[in-house]
Structure 1
Amino acid sequence: MSSEPDPRVLVVDDDPALAEVVARYLRRDGYEVDYAPDGPTGLERALATRPDLVVLDLMMPGMDGFEVCRRLRETADVPVVMLTARGEEADRIAGLDLGADDYVTKPFSPGELAARVRAVLRRATAQAAPAALLIGGGLEVDTLAHTVRRKGAPVTLTTKEYDLLVTFLTAPGRAFRREELLETVWGWSIGDTSTVTVHVRRLREKIEDDASAPRHLATVRGVGYRWEP
Structure 2
Amino acid sequence: MSGDAAVPELKKRRTRIDPELRRKAIIEATMQCITQYGHSGCTLERICAQAGISIGLIGHHFSSKEELMLSTYQALTDQLREETRKYLANQNGSSEDRLLAIIRSSFRGQIFNEFILTTWLGFWGAAVSSEQLRALNKKLYADYRKELEAVFNDIARENGTHIDAKSAALTITALIDGFWLEWALDHKAFSSKKAEKCCITTAHMFVKAAQQLAAMPPTG
What's the TM-score once normalised by structure 2's chain length?
0.28
Higher helix share: 2
Between 1 and 2, higher relative CO (CA 8 Å, sep ≥ 6) is seen in 2
What's the TM-score once normalised by structure 1's chain length?
0.28
Higher strand share: 1
Larger Rg: 2
